[in-house]
Amino acid sequence: MLILKVIYSAILIFMIYATTMASLQLNLLTHLPTLIQDPWAVMTLYDAYFAFLFFYLWVHYKEDSIFFRIFMFIMIASLGTMAMSIYMLVQIFKLKENEGIETLLLKKASK
């Protein structure tokens, strides 16, 4: 699981860095009218949000709490890859020594 910890940590660090740098250079809210005129920018947003939806559907399957599901939907919709990386890191660090990828990906059996 070390490799997954490294990968998701690197993704999180990069996304925080890239988002910070982009935010310091350009105000998204004032630039939004220009962005929505660019078909590739719009298509990239569609692509990203469909990927976020795929990931959220897995979170919805894995988590039982309706409140946590709603919380994660809001986090993924607003923070995207950063929220997904944090979720994965939390899940990975929760794993016990003898648990593998199956435990990470599959829902725990109801008691």
Domain ranges of the chain: 2-105
* Mean pLDDT of the 58-86 span: 97
How far is 82 from 88, CA to CA, in rounded Å? 10
Phi, psi of 26 (to 5 degrees): -150, 130
pTM for the complete prediction? Answer: 0.88
Identify whether the C-beta of residue 33 lies closer than 8 Å to the C-beta of residue 100: no
17-58 pLDDT, tens digit each: 999 999 999 998 899 999 999 999 999 999 999 999 999 999
Nearest to 90 by CA among 101, 104, 111, 79: 104
Confidence of residue 78 (pLDDT cuts 50, 70, 90): very high
Neighbours of 79 (CB within 10 A): 16
Confidence of residue 90 (pLDDT cuts 50, 70, 90): very high
Q: Where are the alpha helices (DSSP H) in 26-97?
A: 28-35, 39-62, 66-79, 81-94
What is the spatial distance between Cα 92 and Cα 7, in angstroms, rounded to a whole number?
11
Q: For tokens 């559907």, name the residue.
A: 57
